Structure 1
Amino acid sequence: MLSYRLFIYVLAAVFLVLASGNAALRRNPRTSKVMICPSIFVDPSGKGNFTTIQAAINSVPSYNKRWICIRIKSGVYREQITIPFDKPFIYLKGEGKRKTSVVWDAHDSIATSATFTSQADNIMAKSLTFINSHNYPLNGSGKPMRPAVAAMIEGDKSAFFRCGFIGLQDTLWDASGRHYFKLCTIQGAVDFIFGSGQSLYERCSISVVAGALNGVAGYITAQGRSEANETNGFVFKECNIFGNGKTFLGRPWRDYARVLFYNSSMSDIVVPQGWDPWFSTAHL
């Protein structure tokens, strides 16, 4: 129990630092003046600087050192987008997670199927949804269920506010780095929050669609901490778990997987045993 408390304290301290850094977008600490984030506008109708999100990302200079806001008009953007490692300090801002969405259909290779891939450090996104449409519509696509990633996050110090991540299997690959998710909606059925990130999920909606599995229970998490001295793990604080079918809270992707649900609401879709050992039983 002590190790879990220490983990929470350390994680909370990390995200206090992240939050103070993000505040610099709005106010200069020396002058107290509001700072304006230079903006690039994306509008599919052609009324902005670009019609695609990827074109806007490509326009950001490599090794950029100041925040640049990419403002994305409402609509459905059918494209696969990547923020490469050499383009930090990008802020993607949609007009609402029900109004602005990025949709792509790809599967199998989790390394290449993601609708959204973020490799750079210091990335923020707000008010948009990332969807991998390969397994949709649920129970009606006629396709076998396959890993189909909606978002892969592997840069350090990334934050997501009021975003959506929609898929069925392997929806959100929280791959590596320190990440913060607040008021986000994450949907899936099998291992749909997975990876080796050191991440805090606060007041997020965890939407389980295990009813699509025809009576088989799903899994919310598959965390990938592989050594006892690694600092990564997932903390879900004041989250809400709901949906259909039955689900485990998670199963260990690696031997030292670490996941903590704190003060969260769980409906009766969560099976009584809570966790499945998968292939790793030594450290449960």
Structure 2
Amino acid sequence: MMMMIMMKGLYSRSSVVFMFVLVFLMWVHVDLAEGGDTNGLDYISWEDLQVDEQRLALKYNNGVGVIIVDQNGKGHSKTVQGAVDLVPVNNRQRVKIFIYPGIYREKVLVPVNKPYISFVGKRNATASAIITWNSKSSDKGPHGRPLGTYDSATVAVDSNFFCATEVTFENSVVATPGGKGMQGVALRVNSPKAMFYRVRIKGTQDTLLDNMGNHYFLKCRIQGKVDFICGGAKSLYEKCRLQSVAENYGAIAAHHRNKPTDDSGFSFVGCTIRGTGNVYLGRAWGDYSRIIYSNCNMDGIIIPAAWSEWNHPNRKKTAVFGEYQCTGRGADRRHRVPWSKSLSYAEARPFMEKSFIDGDQWLRL
């Protein structure tokens, strides 16, 4: 009899333990489904750019893996920076920051010690969540010295495996022709690997400081006047709209590359170029600047010469500026500078695929 009682008690306790383990595993499954433990798989996927908005609206998310930004106080934070601050240092899970529609007037830093962060706005409403500020390079910083272009950024991303969708990054400074210290960065990207899908990046001079790392911009709209895509990163821009708002003269891209061994460059594939003014396709910021346009449609705003060595004649021999099968009035190469290149398919192909940015290693799209 005693043995039967002991066995019954043991069975009862085992059942409780089993049920506890089962519930725990179910909780972990829900947590990972929403938050996404990386488990050593360092890549960006479509899932990282998605939030179940209906679930958020019904308040079923319980704050698991998603931080809600709502300037009306109905989320976890009223500011985007406040949401970033809530992410644990050296986190190993994907954390999605869902930004409700609104104009968020703030500067935001996503630091290097907070990887795997997603900025997600309302689906099909890229213009509704706007992060904006108005710093320019000549403004005085906290130590009384000019900020410089680097620190003028409205949003600065230093963290690895960052991604964003349906959000607008803006610097509202309006650069005047010939003005000094008017550089105003909307988005600065120092992330080793980052992806931007259906985002808007608005400014006038040095709008996007694509500074360093491997980056993928897909179906984005980037707007500016002078060098509005600049930096030394290795980036693929696919099916983006490059919008010039120049009154007179301007330039789309200025790539910084000082040595032929630097593994960097800007590649534009299937993009459209629209807007106003007369603009260069690119300017050589560094002796070995590298910019390629493939299968792009160019409006008539492109200056016929298209490319500038930035008053450094020696760069005509070393800069890599090329075009492959572009269309539109601005794609006429009859008056291009002779040191730019009309590429063959074999020459253009390495710049046209995600392998250009080693995307097969960190993109799962």
Unaligned 5+ segments in structure 2 are 1-40, 50-62, 138-147, 320-365
In structure 1, how many angstroms separate the alpha carbons of the residues matched to 2:166 and 2:107?
A: 18
Residue 45 (structure 2) aligned to one of 22, 25, 39 = 22
Partner of 1:85: 112
Within-5 A mapping of 1:113-262? 113-135=152-174, 146-211=182-247, 215=248, 217-262=249-294
Cα separation, partners in 2 of 1:99 and 1:266, compared to 1, 3 Å? same
Contact 2:215 2:234 in 1 (8 A): yes
- Look up the equivalent residue of 1:268 and give its one-letter code: G
- Corresponding residue for residue 309 of structure 2: 277
Structure 2 equivalent of residue 11 of structure 1: none
User: Which 5+ residue runs of structure 1 have no aligned equivalent?
Assistant: 1-17, 27-35
Shift of 1:281: 2.7
CA contact (8 A) 1:150 1:166 kept: yes
What one-letter code is carried by the residue in structure 2 that aligns with 1:205?
R
Give the Cα–Cα distance (whole angstroms) in 1 for the partners of residues 66 and 166 of structure 2: 16
What is the CA distance between 1:230 and its match in structure 2? 1.4
Aligned residue for 1:49? Answer: 76
Shift of 1:20: 6.2
Q: Which has the higher helix share?
A: 2
- Please point out which of 73, 79, 104 is paired with 2:133: 104
Between the two proteins, the alignment pairs up a number of residues equal to: 251
Match of 2:307, SS?
coil
Q: 1:178 to 1:75 in 2, by over 3 A?
A: same
TM-score of the aligned structures, taking structure 2 as reference length: 0.65
Structure with the greater alpha carbon radius of gyration: 2
Cα RMSD of the aligned pairs, angstroms, is 2.2
Q: TM-score by structure 1 length?
A: 0.84
Secondary structure at 2:308 match in 1: coil
Aligned position for 2:8: none
**Matched AA of 1:88:** P
Percentage identity across paired residues of the two chains = 35
What letter corresponds to residue 282 of structure 1 in structure 2?
K
CA distance in 2, matches of 1:125, 1:100: 12
